[in-house]
Amino acid sequence: MNKQLPELMFLKSRDGKEGCSLSAPEIADDLCVLAADKLRKDIADFPQLSEVEIVRHYTNLAHLNYSVDAGFYPLGSCTMKYNPKINEKIANQPEWNAHPYSPIHLVQGNLEIMKSLEELLMKITAMAAFTLTPAAGAHGELTGLRVIRDYLTDKGDARKIVLIPDSAHGTNPASSVLCGYQTKEIPSNENGILEVETLKKHLDKDVAALMITNPNTLGIFEKNIVEIARVLHENGSLLYMDGANMNAFMGIAKPGDLGADVIHLNLHKTFATPHGGGGPGSGPVGVAKDLVKFLPVPIITHEGKEYKVRYHNESGSNRVKNFYGNFLVIIRALVYLLELGKENIRQVAEDAVLNANYIRKKLEPYLDLPYKSKSLHEVIFSDKGLTVKTLDIAKRILDYGMHPFTIYFPLIVHGAMMIEPTETESKETLDQFIDIMIKILDEAKKDPAFVQGAPYSTPVTRLDEVMAAKQLILRWKPAATQTN
């Protein structure tokens, strides 16, 4: 098997090669109504390859990729669970492949799929309604925060601040700012969670919401959450619960019951849809009763026997995305939930949490555990006392044929190693990973330089990221003109 990077396709391109088969033209060129000065002359250096060369090119690229189908992928906060194949099969059926502006009586099946997922998500989360339109988690955050701002603005309450704990994902503050909010970071305590007293200290009439991930990015459940919600509501502020880590308690507790006013979920995490190397995702937003009228369009309703679509919510359009959202991701999530059913949904969270705690127990003698609170779906170690850096360990894991954990996040842990095994890993895989970690830590003690030089067996060795950011070669150009 070839483990070398194939040449860039532009270098293999030759005039006269064809990768597609086209039908003979039926309409004569002279019908063209556009003047010559509106027409393009050439697409300089655009590739031309034959079919077999394209197949080889991409097949060789495939050989260079690690994937969850190939093995363990314990990226913390990313929930890299297995992506069921039946979901792909069903999503790829032609019967869903309608134009989004098809007359709605011709696409009742598609509307049923979306409404069914909305209803299932409502049951799992105890939220009053969902929109499925956001394209990813961060897009859901932006949507949810805007719903909060619309709601408060509607009440004549122009609050300006969103409170965000120091363990939050970077998307939380970035989304808040895009919604015109100022953010204020608040510290978690020595147990890694937010204390009600800390919240109270930062709370005033200018606080629109607290945006909190639960369980948080330390894998710890915010056990004061019910009291936090109460204190917020008393102050006229809302609780935004980031559901990035919903896999930890899906089927065990419902965010709505805990006091959340707005949540978003990540279908490409908790609901097993494939990540695709960085998307497409889907980030449904669920809201409490009073906020429903601020959800973005389109809104699917079920009237009598027919599904209908509304393009105006009571408060306006609030549209955040074209058409209906990432429908083909939505359908995969529905297939997944229907296969789990009530019999398995709780087992998913239980196994995910059991797996994380097993790793924690087994590695605790070897690594520093900065927060001793109970872990849910992920465990975070630090690099304290090690002879090498977290990055070195991560790179060495690659040599053993596995993907490393999330590194250097959350920021409040020095040299963080954030390990989320998910429920779809066997005990054998966990034991292998644990053995590899122990071996690497031993190597690091005996020969730190060796670990610092890893990886040795990957298609490329450590890449010069500083050079990448300095030279900024972001596209290929013919040799003579290659500058940027």
Find the shortest distance in angstroms from Cβ 368 to another protein. 19
Q: Residue 293 interacts with another protein (CB under 8 A)?
A: no
Phi, psi (rounded to 5 degrees) for 463: -95, 145
Among 156, 234, 278, 365, binds another protein (CB under 8 A): 278
Residue 353: Cβ within 10 Å count:
24
Q: Residue 2 interacts with another protein (CB under 8 A)?
A: no
Q: Residue 100 interacts with another protein (CB under 8 A)?
A: yes
CB nearer to another protein: give 94 or 385.
94
SS (H, E, C) 268-294: CCCCCCCCCCCCCCCCCEEECHHHHHH
Residue 75 has what DSSP assignment?
A: B
Phi, psi (rounded to 5 degrees) for 112: -60, -40
Q: Residue 173 interacts with another protein (CB under 8 A)?
A: yes
Span near another protein by CB under 8 A; candidates 2-10, 235-243, 379-387, 437-445 = 2-10
C-alpha 47/C-alpha 59 separation (Å) is 18
Find the shortest distance in angstroms from Cβ 75 to another protein. 6
C-alpha 242/C-alpha 77 separation (Å) is 12
CB nearer to another protein: give 22 or 385.
22
Q: Residue 196 interacts with another protein (CB under 8 A)?
A: no
C-alpha 146/C-alpha 141 separation (Å) is 8
Find the shortest distance in angstroms from Cβ 450 to another protein. 14
Q: Residue 26 interacts with another protein (CB under 8 A)?
A: yes
* Footprint of another protein on 151-170 (CB under 8 A): 169-170
CB nearer to another protein: give 19 or 445.
19
Query: Residues near 349 by Cβ (< 8 Å), separated by ≥ 6?
Result: 247, 248, 249, 250, 251, 252, 377, 423
Phi, psi (rounded to 5 degrees) for 75: -65, 115
Q: Residue 11 interacts with another protein (CB under 8 A)?
A: no
Among 201, 435, 442, 476, binds another protein (CB under 8 A): 476
- Four-residue CA torsion sign, 73, 374, 265, 194: negative
Site pattern 368..387 for another protein (x: CB under 8 A): -----xxxx-----------
Q: Residue 475 interacts with another protein (CB under 8 A)?
A: yes
Q: Residue 442 interacts with another protein (CB under 8 A)?
A: no
Q: Residue 48 interacts with another protein (CB under 8 A)?
A: yes
Closest listed residue to residue 322, CA positions, set 307, 331, 311, 335: 311
In a 13 Å sphere around the CA of 233, the CA atoms on its Cβ side amount to 13
Find the shortest distance in angstroms from Cβ 231 to another protein. 15
Q: Residue 39 interacts with another protein (CB under 8 A)?
A: yes
